[in-house]
Amino acid sequence: MSQVIRPQAASDIDDIADYLEQQRRGTGHKFLQELAATFGLLEQMPGLGGFFPLAAPSLAGLREFPVSRFPRYVIFYLPIQGGIDVVRVLHAAQNVATVLEGEP
């Protein structure tokens, strides 16, 4: 099993963890633990997430799945051979389609 985390997704993860940690000590760490567990689940069952249709051909087949215990944060990923390619991790309140349409 493998996971590819794109640079923008890594930046998203750092920003979210930092924000949550500032809001309440220990929450950023808990988020990272839950994120890792959710990544593991998706690696084993990449078809688990629902489709998130976009016009961008490079993101055909994009899926979405909420982070366990942090359902307002959503993992956007593409299934790949033996795992997942994590495109972004975003808060559900964001204009997700607009953000994702800007991805290469």
Q: pLDDT by residue (tens digit) across 9-22? A: 999 999 999 999 99
The stretches in the chain having pLDDT less than 70 are 104
Note the Cα 72 to chain centre separation in Å.
Answer: 11
> What pLDDT shows up at residue 84?
97
> What is 2-101's CATH number, 3.40.50.410, 3.30.2310.20, 3.40.50.1220, 3.40.720.10?
3.30.2310.20
Query: Which is it for the CA torsion 83, 37, 5, 50, positive or negative?
Result: positive
The C-alpha atoms of residue 81 and residue 72 are separated, in whole angstroms, by 28
> Reading across the β-sheet that carries 2-5, which strands appear in turn?
2-5, 83-91, 70-80, 63-67, 50-51
